[in-house]
Homo-oligomer: A and B are copies of this chain.
């Protein structure tokens, strides 16, 4: 959980009622951001949507950026928690093959992306001009890339992946491929391909690029 750094004048609510108001504002903010984007969202839109007085917004957040960071933080939580599919102990050996795990991870990420597509668009928007937010995003990316790199190294040690690949660079590049493909498709609306065709292609390219044996 990234520290959103509550500043002067704003404080974490103490009373039950305060907590409720704050949550209402966060929920409203997310909905409004999704509808209008960060730039076109006015604080008044958020308060109106949350059915809260204009001034109350500043009781809980020092600025528009501040709510956004909170909303984004929760979003990242959702996006990354679902990613690392825990090894299912009950699953057959085939399910545990690297190719199968990549497939499962990709599908999970796709599901999460689909669920959050609107906010992902806003996230991209804010990332283009807000440094603080860029940093937050970089950290999240580093974590998940690190995780993938670790897996690749493991597979290299197991002789499943070619030794000449740089695990870190590879993890980055493949993550960029999946991430950006989904972005262009789900957010920018590049002529929608058949879902399965795109996901299959991503799985296959991933697996072949790494030189892994295909899923049986």
Contacts and interface: CB of A to CB of B under 8 A. Distances in A.
A208 B177 CA distance: 15
A12 to B, nearest CB: 15
A164 to B, nearest CB: 8
Interface stretch (A18-26, A66-74, A123-131): A123-131
A116 to B, nearest CB: 16
A141 B190 contact: yes
A127 B166 contact: no
Copies in the complex: 4
Contacts of A127: 188
A169 B198 contact: yes
A59 to B, nearest CB: 11
A113 to B, nearest CB: 13
A162 B164 CA distance: 23
A29 interface: no
Nearest to A199: B169
Interface residues of A, number: 47
A211 interface: yes
Interface string A164-206: 1110111011101101110010001011010001101110111
B124 A170 contact: no
B121 A128 contact: yes
Given A168-B193, A193-B169, A201-B165, A138 B188 contact: yes
Interface of A: 9, 37, 39-40, 44, 121, 124-125, 127-129, 134, 138, 141-142, 162, 164-166, 168-170, 172-174, 176-177, 179-181, 184, 188, 190-191, 193, 197-198, 200-202, 204-206, 208-211
